[in-house]
């Protein structure tokens, strides 16, 4: 349930000057693990995530989810997009209900669940608002609720908090920690924020660009449950220093 | 949670109407705007009236506004069947003839144009099969189709409806195509990731996302539909505003010609308002969006 495996995965975008976005990437993510992908802009983080999501096809290699191949998007691999990507003509509630309703699940089953999720993300009073009436953070919470309502085996999150201000970002990180700690789904989380990666992840995969590769994997052994208060803990700072050193190292090797 | 709902509440209410300073002649607000809008037409009518003498100008060709008004009153409310004035009392029925043709032709244009456009924009296969043909036929002006239409349908309603449907079809299909093609890729991806089938994506994402463009196409198409009905009535049908227009010109009734032109304009405006009203309702979500941006 929820394992992800990349074996020598290559992704090339064709064109006049083909772009090798991923070059022989290997990655194993275990059941219930929280993995952060950390790297500079353009190194192929989104490409990697889009491959597991089923949005794009790899050029060569092997990619599996729960031991099976990935050939199209599906609700067991829920995606949270950077700009939420909510449907603007649907209310908050309708956006969350979209998945269950296209899956023809009985309304009586998912309606109570939506109510519970709205409460969990603190948006009960906004059930009937349109996305355009919400702040960025609130929209992103709808995006998370929309993913969770499908009981996904993995959550794929592509810089979900990248567009938010620092304060909102922290409250979203806390929300995600709380949700994940109670659900235990596998999470692949793309970010270029080191603090965010350390705070959230069990393991951080550092990527480098040109060619896009995973150059380092770092295990974060901060105790759980975690909270945003830990951002200033000495243990946290030590981790950060170590990771920055590794990143500098990785950069030198690939320069 | 720090980004409290309260923040969005602050943003949600529609901002108070900005204070409009009255500028120059007119008072602020709606009344002033209406007065400003009416200024030019009133000036034109007054100048037109003053330029004429004895009920006409330009050497007797053009009637003055009062004559046009009188002609319209007889046309609209006069007793029917008076031998001397064949137009007397026939305004409403002619307006209805033309409007019905526009309605029928335009419904046809929508019924074919919207699904066709959405499919062309959504599916590369459909686009490759159908779009080149449409682009090939589109440069042929509807007026050039007139002989074809008369030859095929004869001098009757079907010919007019065919022209209207054809003229309205092009802008509808082209705009629907653009709307369906420009759908945010992440909306489609999000729907697919939630388990939507290709048909779900078409119906629940592509179609609503294309609606704003579709309405643009409808408004343009409706304008062309009115052009088409007038042209075909002038040439190929024996009733309606277009028929009266040409017939009145032929017998030298320029007062009726101008009253007819203004009637066509009024009907065009009215039908456009109708679409705008539907658009307003169908795109409520967009109004809220622009109000909050
Ligand atoms: N559809 C595409 N066609 C061609 N090239 C692409 C496409 N998508 C991405 N690329 C290229 O592939 C490389 C990796 O892109 P990707 O979006 O995966 O990077 P990223 O790490 O997510 O960057 P960012 O942090 O800016 O989101 C980049 O060089 C990009 O220009
Ligand atoms: Mg990216």
Q: Is residue A54 part of a domain?
A: yes
- Express each pLDDT in A36-65 by its tens digit: 999 888 899 999 999 999 999 999 999 999
Indicate if A69 and A95 belong to the same structural domain: no
Q: What percent of chain A has pLDDT over 90?
A: 73
Residue A15 pLDDT greater than 60, yes or no: yes
Is B120:B131 a contact under the CB 8 Å cutoff?
yes
- Please give the pLDDT value at position B7: 41
What is the signed CA dihedral for A235, A236, A241, A242, rounded to 10 degrees? 70
Determine whether the shortest distance from the Cβ of A42 to ligand 1 is under 6 A: yes
pLDDT at B17: 55
| B250 reaches A (C-beta below 8 A) | no
Say what the pLDDT of residue B290 is.
55
Q: Are strands A154-158 and A186-191 parallel, antiparallel or unpaired?
A: parallel
What is the rounded CA–CA span in Å between residue A150 and residue A255? 43
Token couple for A151: 């009981």
Q: Is the peptide bond before A225 cis (omega within 30 degrees of 0)?
A: yes
Question: Rounded mean pLDDT of A6-16?
Answer: 94
Same domain (yes/no): A207, A248: yes
Encoded tokens for A222: 């901060």
My answer on whether A54 and A107 are in the same domain is no
Q: Does residue A38 share a domain with residue A86?
A: no
User: How far away, in angstroms, is A41 Cα from ligand 1 center?
Assistant: 8
Cis before A151 (ω within 30): no
- A52 and A70 within one domain: yes
CATH architecture classification, B97-284: Orthogonal Bundle (1.10)
Q: CB contact, 8 Å: A139 with chain B?
A: no
Indicate which ligand has the atom closest to the C-alpha of A41.
Answer: 1
In B, which residues are within 8 Å of A126 by CB distance?
Answer: 5, 8
Higher pLDDT, B40 or B22: B40
pTM above 0.90, yes or no: no
Please report the pLDDT score of residue B10 as a whole number.
42
Tens of pLDDT, residues A225-240: 888 888 888 988 988 8
Q: Is residue A146 part of a domain?
A: yes
The two three-digit tokens of residue A189, written as one number: 């989380």
Q: Determine contact: A138 vs chain B, CB below 8 A.
A: yes
Q: In this predicted model, what pLDDT tens digit does every residue of B101-125 receive, in sequence order?
A: 999 999 999 999 999 999 999 999 9
Higher-scoring residue by pLDDT: A215, A94: A94
Q: What is the CATH number of the domain that holds A40?
A: 3.40.50.300
Question: Is the pLDDT reported for residue A131 higher than 90?
Answer: yes
Residue A165 has pLDDT above 80, yes or no: yes
Question: Cβ distance A61 to A51 under 8 Å?
Answer: no
Residues B49, B64: Cα–Cα separation, whole Å: 5
Tell me the per-residue pLDDT of B245-260, one tens digit each, with 9 for 90 and over.
999 999 989 999 999 9
**Is A168 inside any structural domain?**
no
Left, alpha or beta for B64 (phi > 0: left; psi -120 to 50: alpha)? beta
Domain annotation covers residue A107: yes
d(CA A124, CA A141): 12
CB within 8 A of B90, min separation 6: which ones?
B75, B80, B244
Residue A193 lies in a domain: yes
A39-48, A72-81, A96-105: which range is least confident on average? A39-48
Confidence of residue B199 (pLDDT cuts 50, 70, 90): very high
Mean pLDDT of B226-245: 93
Place of tokens 């990527």: A207
**A248 and A194 together in one domain:** yes
How many Cβ atoms from other residues are within 10 Å of residue A64's Cβ? Answer: 14
Report d(CA B63, CA B74) in Å as an integer: 15
What range does the domain containing A200 cover?
1-76+154-161+184-254
Kindly state whether residue A177 falls inside one of the protein's structural domains.
Answer: no
Whether A89 and A132 share a structural domain: yes
The answer on pLDDT for B272 being more than 50 is: yes
Question: How many structural domains comprise chain A?
Answer: 2
Tell me, yes or no, whether A83 and A69 share the same domain: no
Q: Is the pLDDT of residue A71 over 70?
A: yes
State the complex-level ipTM.
Answer: 0.93
B-chain residues near A87 (CB < 8 A): 187, 190-191, 204-205, 208
pLDDT of residue A51: 97
Mean pLDDT rounded to a whole number for chain B: 88
Same domain, A2 and A72: yes
Query: Given ligand 1 and candidates A45, A55, A159, which is best to mutate, with the most ligand atoms within 8 Å of its CB?
Result: A45
Same structural domain, A237 and A116: no
What is the structure's pLDDT at B20?
Answer: 55
Query: What helix, strand, coil percent values describe chain A, rounded to 5?
Result: 40, 25, 35
Task: Measure in Å the smallest separation between the Cα of A38 and chain B Cα atoms.
Answer: 22
Domain assignment present for residue A179? The answer is no
Work out the average pLDDT over A77-96. 95
The residue whose CA has the least distance to atom 17 of ligand 1 is A46
SS3 B215: helix
| Residue at A171 is within a domain | no
Q: What is the pLDDT of residue B23?
A: 62
List CB-based neighbours of ion ligand 2 within 5 Å. Answer: A 46
User: Is A92 found in the same domain as A57?
Assistant: no
């Amino acid at each position: 349930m929820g394992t992800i495996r990349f074996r020598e995965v290559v992704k090339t975008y064709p064109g006049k000057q083909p772009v090798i976005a991923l070059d022989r990437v290997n990655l194993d993510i275990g059941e219930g693990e929280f993995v952060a992908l950390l790297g500079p802009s353009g190194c192929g983080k989104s490409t990697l995530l889009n491959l597991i999501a089923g949005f794009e096809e790899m050029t060569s290699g092997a990619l599996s989810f729960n031991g099976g191949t990935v050939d199209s998007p599906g609700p067991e691999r829920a995606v949270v997009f950077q700009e939420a990507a909510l449907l603007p003509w649907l209310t908050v509630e309708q956006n969350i209900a979209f998945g269950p309703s296209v899956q023809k699940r009985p309304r009586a089953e998912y309606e109570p669940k939506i109510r519970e999720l709205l409460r969990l993300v603190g948006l009960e009073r906004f059930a009937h608002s349109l996305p355009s009436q919400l702040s960025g953070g609130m929209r992103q919470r709808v995006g998370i609720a929309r993913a969770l309502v499908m009981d996904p085996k993995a959550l794929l999150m592509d810089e979900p908090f990248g567009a938010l201000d620092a304060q909102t970002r922290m409250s979203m990180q806390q929300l995600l920690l709380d949700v994940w700690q109670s659900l235990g789904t596998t999470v692949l989380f793309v970010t270029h924020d080191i603090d965010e990666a350390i705070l959230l992840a069990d393991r951080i995969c550092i990527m480098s660009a040109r060619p896009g590769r995973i150059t380092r994997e770092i295990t974060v052994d901060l105790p759980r449950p975690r909270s945003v208060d830990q951002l200033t803990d000495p243990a946290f700072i030590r981790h950060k220093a170590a990771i920055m050193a590794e990143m500098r190292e990785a950069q030198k090797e690939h320069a | 949670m720090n980004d409290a709902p309260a923040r969005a509440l602050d943003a949600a209410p529609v901002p108070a109407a900005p204070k409009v300073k009255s500028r120059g002649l007119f008072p602020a607000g709606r009344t002033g705007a209406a007065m400003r809008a009416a200024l030019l037409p009133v000036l034109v009518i007054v100048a037109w009236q003053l330029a004429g003498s004895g009920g006409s100008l330009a050497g007797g060709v053009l009637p003055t506004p009062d004559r046009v008004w009188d002609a319209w009153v007889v046309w609209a409310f006069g007793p029917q069947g008076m031998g001397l004035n064949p137009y007397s009392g026939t305004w409403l029925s002619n307006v209805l003839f033309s409007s019905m043709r526009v309605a029928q032709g335009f419904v046809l244009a929508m019924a074919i144009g919207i699904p066709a456009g959405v499919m062309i924009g959504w599916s590369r296969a459909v686009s490759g099969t159908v779009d080149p043909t449409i682009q090939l036929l589109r440069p042929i002006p509807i007026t050039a189709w007139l002989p074809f239409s008369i030859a095929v349908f004869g001098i009757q309603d079907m010919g007019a409806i065919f022209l209207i449907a054809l003229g309205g079809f092009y802008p509808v299909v082209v705009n629907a195509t653009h709307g369906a093609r420009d759908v945010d890729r992440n909306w489609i991806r999000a729907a697919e990731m939630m388990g939507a089938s290709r048909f779900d994506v078409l119906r629940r994402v592509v179609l609503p996302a294309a609606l704003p463009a579709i309405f643009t196409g409808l408004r343009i198409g409706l304008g062309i539909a009115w052009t088409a009905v007038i042209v075909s009535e002038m040439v190929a049908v024996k009733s309606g505003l277009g028929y009266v227009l040409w017939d009145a010109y032929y017998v030298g009734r320029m007062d009726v010609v101008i009253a007819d032109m203004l009637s066509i304009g009024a009907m065009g405006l009215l039908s456009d308002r109708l679409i705008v009203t539907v658009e307003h309702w169908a795109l409520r979500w967009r109004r809220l969006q622009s109000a909050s941006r």
